[in-house]
Amino acid sequence: MEITYASSSHRDLPTISASSSSSLGSSMPNRPVKTIPLQHPNTTSSSSSPLAQAMFSRWTAKIKRTTPSQWIDTFLPCYRWIRTYKWREYLQPDLMAGLTVGIMLVPQAMSYAKLAGLHPIYGLYTGFIPIFVYAIFGSSRQLAIGPVALVSLLVSNVLGGMDLSDELYTELAILLAFMVGIMECIMAFLRLGWLIRFISHSVISGFTTASAIVIALSQAKYFLGYDVVRSSKIVPLIKSIISGAHKFSWPPFVMGSCILAILLVMKHLGKSRKQFRFLRPAGPFTAVVLGTVFVKMFHPSSISLVGDIPQGLPSFSIPKKFEYAKSLIPTAMLITGVAILESVGIAKALAAKNGYELDSSQELFGLGLANILGSFFSAYPSTGSFSRSAVNNDSGAKTGLAGIVAGTIMGCSLLFLTPLFEYIPQCGLAAIVISAVMGLVDYDEAIFLWHVDKKDFVLWIITSTTTLFLGIEIGVLVGVGVSLAFVIHESANPHIAVLGRLPGTTVYRNIQQYPEAYTYNGIVIVRIDAPIYFANISFIKDRLREYEADVDKSARHGPEVERIHFLILEMSPITYIDSSAVQALKDLHQEYKSRDIEICIANPNQDVLLTLTKAGIVELIGKEWYFVRVHDAVQVCLQHVQSLNQTPKNPDSFAEDKPSFFQRLSKQREEDLSIAELESGDKKTSVPKFTEPHLEPLLSRKS
């Protein structure tokens, strides 16, 4: 039985097929074109986009399905683990993890406060209230928040460059926490966390590497025994260190170096050997204890101490000095970006590792609320800590109860232990900071990028270099700017491939990637691997003209023709097309029409096809030139090329050349078997059996 699969839009195809067959005489059998119908959208049914309708429908359905318990989960994420808490299974690991992180946090908090240019007590305050707030409103169960080195450096960098008294300096640091919290909550409500995706991993790695070097150099003054200029640039720091070399003091250098060596050994053993895993979080506590014991025993006058630390919990106070808020907005935005990158990235990784889902917007809201409420209790900006979160997870933390335990340890330290902190040597706190930031120097990433992607390696070098020599803010801006420039360049110069047919299949692939793929005379098949919009349409048009002019006939099949008659656009990778691209397509159609070249569209998605329909491109080109598959388009175009190429023969020659009945039957049987193998996928990719290459893409007329 003979079946023709032709869409209703292909109203001319039967005529085309018949006319082509009759012009070829008995040498070509009547072979109707077999194509899959393309469903054209109905633009009169609705004026809105189907995608928008689908999104709205899913959103309303989700709201209707939401139960009261799920609403509570949304606004109080802690309710998720409270109602499913397994006391016998979770309580002990949560207590151990909280105790471990709390012991680690106390000395780190004081160290990071010194790095931020604040009194150590404000580091303890930052590690107190925000932890409890996040345990209630944060969605991650293993993330350990509090003061971190990078945010502390950012606070020091912006406030250190201003001529401020100690009291005003502290007030502005607390105001920064309030502003950062407000920005994080706004981004959570508007679901703007996706903006951070434009900061590439190479920018983050280069930035953190340079920042780690700056942080380590800024702590050198506690090792060397003399003051070093406060700066986020490497050149002033090195100059200051060299110029003050005559003031060098051996006791703090020896003591700080010994404590640093102990920290590094304990960290290495804790990471490399499971039986010594407890040594990693115990490192900062050990450093503080050893340093304090040494000072109490020998009373060295050349080693500076932390000094008096107020005892008791922080009191409630509203942030002040809002007249400075405008000048702090850029820094608050930068801290917010760093906080999101560091916290949300760590939280997602830990959630995936522990088998639960994490909402980025809820995570931002939890961080923002922790900073806002923390600022009411004298905290400076806090965020998730990579090192403490890793320790928390490795210690077996199951829920947010571990964070509550760590906050309780901090509260007990504020109430009872602050008199002991008076004798902690500052070189010991500096050693804790240096030990923590050494892990941020990511030279392995630079080596990896050099081998994998030179462009990302250049971006890493640019970001790290500008951060080191021009400062943190400029380094981030330059890194993000160059990263966006790369994105724009890639988008404005998309990858465009000329497709050819893989032998023995109906699959069309890039002829550069698959040299064995062959093309057809008179036809160019092009795939555009990007959305088409105003920034790249000129590049696309230029490339299409090049493909039309640059025709390699050596690898082509089909009837011999002198020029291109058809341009087939494979549009499956194109997810979006704007008005500028639509107008350019109209111009391109008119240009090709004047040169007797027809444009064919293959496999456009629903949104793109709807845009083309609304713009009149479908009617302009003609529905008969829209196809589901590239192969369908090639079949139709080849029939046109064949009809253009055929010339009538002398009637006498038909009688002379007419094959016998048995020859025709044998030839037809060979063609049908070969094409049946092709359709079933059993045909091997070898040299085709067809004696007439231009017949190869035509599918069997038998079903």
- Report pLDDT digits (tens) over 573-600: 998 899 888 998 898 899 888 888 899 9
- Measured CA to CA, the distance from residue 311 to residue 180 in angstroms comes to 28
Task: For 446-502, write each residue's pLDDT tens digit.
Answer: 999 999 989 999 999 999 999 999 988 888 889 888 988 988 888 899 999 999 999
Structure tokens at 423: 């004798």
CA–CA dist 441, 443 (Å, integer): 6
Average pLDDT of the residues in 277-292: 86
H helices of 443-536, in order, are 443-452, 454-470, 472-492
The structure tokens listed for 687 are 């040299």
Most confident of 553-557, 602-606, 658-662, 699-703: 602-606
Q: What is the pLDDT of residue 144?
A: 92
- At residue 655 the predicted structure's pLDDT band, cuts being 50, 70 and 90, is very low
Distance CA(164)–CA(167), nearest Å, equals 8
How much is the pLDDT for 476?
A: 83
Instruction: Report whether pLDDT(61) > 50.
Output: yes
**Tokens describing residue 59:** 């959103």
Phi, psi for residue 305 in degrees, rounded to 5: -110, 165
Higher-pLDDT residue of 35 and 94 is: 94
Task: Output the pLDDT for position 174.
Answer: 95
Assigned token pair, 340? 């999101």
Tokens of 539: 């590049």
Q: Which helix (H) or strand (E) holds 648?
A: none
Cα 639 to Cα 411, 499, 553, 583, distances in angstroms = 83, 19, 19, 30
Q: How would residue 693 be classed by pLDDT, with cut points 50, 70 and 90?
A: very low
pLDDT at 420 over 80: yes
Longest dimension (CA), the chain: 121
Q: What is the pLDDT of residue 550?
A: 67
| Lowest-confidence region among 32-46, 159-173, 611-625 | 32-46
Check: CB of residue 398 under 8 Å from CB of residue 84: no
3-class SS of residue 2: strand
**What pLDDT, on a 0 to 100 scale, did the predictor assign at position 676?**
43
Label residue 41 by pLDDT band (50, 70, 90). low
Dihedral pair phi/psi, residue 677, rounded to 5°: -60, -40
Nearest residue to 123 via CA among 144, 103, 102, 147: 147
The encoded tokens of residue 332 equal 């608050």
3-state secondary structure of 395: coil
Query: In this predicted structure, what is the pLDDT of residue 112?
Result: 93
Q: Which residues pair with 119 in a beta bridge?
A: none
pLDDT-derived band at 105 (thresholds 50, 70, 90) equals very high
Q: If DSSP states are collapsed to H, E and C, what string results for 491-528?
A: HHCCCEEEEEECCCCCCEEECCCCCCCEEECCEEEEEE
DSSP string, 677-699: HHHHT-S-SSS---SSGGGTTPP
Among the residue ranges 41-45, 601-605, 669-673, the one predicted with the least confidence is 669-673
Is pLDDT of 405 > 50?
yes
* Token pair recorded at residue 110: 């004081």
Q: Is 536 helix (H, G, I), strand (E, B) or coil?
A: coil
Predicted pLDDT of residue 71: 72
pLDDT tens-digit profile of 502-535? 988 889 999 889 988 888 888 899 999 999 988 8
**In this structure, how many other beta carbons lie within 10 angstroms of the beta carbon of residue 227?**
10
pLDDT of amino acid 181 = 95
Out of 33-37, 375-379, 493-497, pick the least confident: 33-37
Tell me what pLDDT residue 46 has.
Answer: 45
- Specify the pLDDT at position 44: 55
Q: What are phi and psi of 586, to 5 degrees?
A: -60, -45
Q: What is the DSSP letter of 197?
A: G
Give the lowest-confidence range in 52-66, 94-108, 194-208, 386-400.
52-66
Is residue 256 within 8 Å of residue 263, measured between CB atoms? no
Alpha-carbon span 243 to 91, nearest angstrom: 55
At residue 690, the pLDDT reads 41
Task: Enumerate residues 6+ apart whose C-beta is below 8 A from 340.
Answer: 184, 187, 193, 196, 364, 367
Residues 572 and 12: their CA atoms lie apart, in Å, by: 25
β-pairing, 508-510 with 523-528?
unpaired
More confident residue, 547 or 36: 547
Token code pair at residue 654: 């038909």
234-247 pLDDT, tens per residue? Answer: 999 999 999 999 98
310-319, 618-627, 683-692, range with the lowest pLDDT: 683-692
pLDDT of residue 564: 86
> In the structure encoding, which two tokens stand for residue 158, read together?
């912006």
Alpha helix positions (H), 118-200: 120-126, 129-137, 149-160, 166-190
pLDDT at 34: 62
Residue 694, pLDDT score: 40
Lowest mean pLDDT among 245-254, 461-470, 642-651, 664-673: 664-673
Tell me which residue of 696, 597, 694, 700 sits closest to 645, measured CA to CA: 694
Residues 6+ apart with CB under 8 A from 611: 577, 582
User: Is residue 368's pLDDT more than 60?
Assistant: yes
Q: Which residue has the higher pLDDT, 194 or 296?
A: 296
Cβ burial of 211 (10 Å; 0-12, 13-18, 19+) is: buried
* pLDDT tens-digit map of 331-355: 899 888 888 777 887 888 888 888 8
Range name among 410-414, 553-557, 678-682 with the lowest pLDDT average: 678-682
Percentage of the chain surpassing pLDDT 70? 82
Whether 171 has a pLDDT exceeding 50, the answer reads yes
**Tokens 């995570």 appear where?**
363
**Pick from 269, 263, 319, 311: which is nearest to 287 by CA?**
263
Residue 681: name the closest of 502, 467, 496 by CA: 502
* C-alpha closest to that of 178 among 353, 321, 34, 388: 321
> Which pLDDT tens digit goes with each residue over 140-166?
888 999 999 889 988 998 888 788 888
Of 184, 193, 440, which Cα lies nearest the Cα of 335?
Answer: 184
Entry pTM: 0.74
* pLDDT for position 664: 52
